Amino acid sequence: MTVLYISQDGITDHIGQSQIAPYVLGLAARGYDIHLLSAEKDGREALIADYQARFASVGVRWTTISYHKPLIGTLRDLAAMTRAAGRICRAERITLVHCRSHPTMPVGMAVKRWTGARLLFDFRDFWADTGIARGRFVTVFRWLKRLERRFVLAADHVNCLTERAVTHLRREYVGTAPAPTFSVVPCCADFDLFGLPRDVATTRTELEIAQDATVLLYLGSIGVEYLLDRMMTLFVQLRTLRPNAIFLFVVNNATDTVYAAAAAAELPREAIRVTGATRSRVPALIGASDLSVAFIRADLSKIGCSPTKVGETLACGVPVIANAGVGDLDTLLSPGVNGSLVLRDFAPATMCAGLGQVLARPLSSAEIRSSALALSLDSGVDAYAAIYEALDVRGS
């Protein structure tokens, strides 16, 4: 009896390596029979071969289709996924179809019709609202938003990243209709990979950062929803407290945009470091930092947001400064719990006061890490296993 796990996000993408493959491997190691279906980008043959070997070692079967860029490309992907899912259903007994995010739900709903399998909608965040907020293909994303209620009510179970998302979905869509069950599994981090730093001095030397400098970290992509100008304002305030401070960006895009934002904030170029990194290199870069920032635009599209970087950073014992209104961060981050802080506004005085609290380091790195165990991969796998069992994946 097979779980068909469907994702348009590729396993070889960063999100696939951090938020799909570890869960699939962990669940398979616990005895679940999984067939993974994903869309993969060209030119990643070596990484695909690596993951094929990892999946095979725990019995996961992996079917891939070629990824195409949105939005017409997304329709091509879904057509190819539907055909592939049909072949899998004819060959195997599917008892659960696990759909990661909105784009795969039409395929999952088809599988449910064909096989009678249970349907798990892994909602992630408010995908259509994010598309609308970005201002591209707005008409298409509004149409997809209208399908969201149908997706939720078609599912036997809906998993979200935040409690705020569950509350919103129940209020907006469930009403008197037959309701799915709900759960919350935040984005988790592999605590075996993301550990306490071991050789900070070497990493700082490689980055040409003084050993006594205070290092602010930003980890992730650069884009309009990540409030780069606000992060530069925070760094300006940090330099009033620690004049030798360095802002380290570990990003996979937009290096020129970072330097332009620093120049607009009248920050010296030598105070900025920008680097890319493989997944295995990221923990050392986090460990070379004293604190990190996770500023994200707060609107409806982000009430379901659980930033992966938060769990990874806390796992390395580094505190986080975030802004209010993003997912469940308001209740997750606090100085007494994990040495971290949520800013209620972006006023420079508020930032300066918040920096003072975090730099005081009320908790050690080991205490910060221990406080975040609920965001560990083991906890996430436990939670998904509980969902699978509740949906009777193995059959009565």
For residue 359, give the nearest of 337, 378, 341 by alpha carbon. Answer: 341
Tell me if 160 sits within 8 A of 123, measured CB to CB.
yes
User: What is the chain's pLDDT, residue by residue, as a tens digit (396 residues)?
Assistant: 899 999 999 999 989 999 999 999 999 999 999 999 999 999 999 999 999 999 999 999 999 999 998 877 888 999 999 999 999 999 999 999 999 999 999 999 999 999 999 999 999 989 888 888 877 778 888 888 899 999 999 999 999 999 999 999 999 998 766 789 999 999 999 999 999 998 999 999 999 999 999 999 999 999 888 999 999 999 999 999 999 999 999 998 889 999 999 999 999 999 999 999 999 999 999 999 999 999 999 988 899 999 999 999 999 999 999 999 999 999 999 999 999 999 999 999 999 999 999 999 999 999 999 999 999 999 999 999 999 999 988 765
Q: Which domains does the chain have, with CATH numbers?
A: 2-188+377-390 (3.40.50.2000), 200-375 (3.40.50.2000)
pLDDT of residue 128: 85
Start-to-end CA span in the chain (Å)? 11
Q: What is the pTM of this model?
A: 0.93
The confidence score (pLDDT) of residue 71 equals: 74
Question: For 214-228, what is the HEC assignment?
Answer: CEEEEECCCCHHHCH
| Separation between Cα atoms, residue 40 and residue 187, nearest integer Å | 21
What gap in Å lies between CA 11 and CA 54, rounded to an integer? 12
Report helix angle 228-241 to 348-359, nearest 10. 60
The pLDDT of residue 158 is 97
How many beta carbons lie within 10 A of that of residue 9, not counting itself? 20
Q: Please report the pLDDT score of residue 185 as a whole number.
A: 97
Q: How high is the pLDDT of residue 132? A: 84
Q: Is 82 exposed, middle or buried (0-12, 13-18, 19+ CB in 10 A)?
A: middle
Question: Would you list the DSSP string of 128-182?
Answer: HHHHHHHTSSHHHHHHHHHHHHHHHHH-SEEEES-HHHHHHHIIIIITTSPPPEE
Residue 374 identity: A
Q: What is the pLDDT of residue 73?
A: 82
| Torsion (CA) 128, 36, 385, 332 in degrees, nearest 10 | -40
pLDDT of residue 396: 53
Count of helices and strands (H, E) across the chain? 18, 13
How is 320-373 classified by DSSP, letter by letter?
EEEETTSTTHHHH--HHHHS-EEES---HHHHHHHHHHHHT-SS-HHHHHHHTG
CA–CA separation, 31 vs 299, rounded Å? 40
Residues 247/235, Cβ–Cβ less than 8 Å: yes
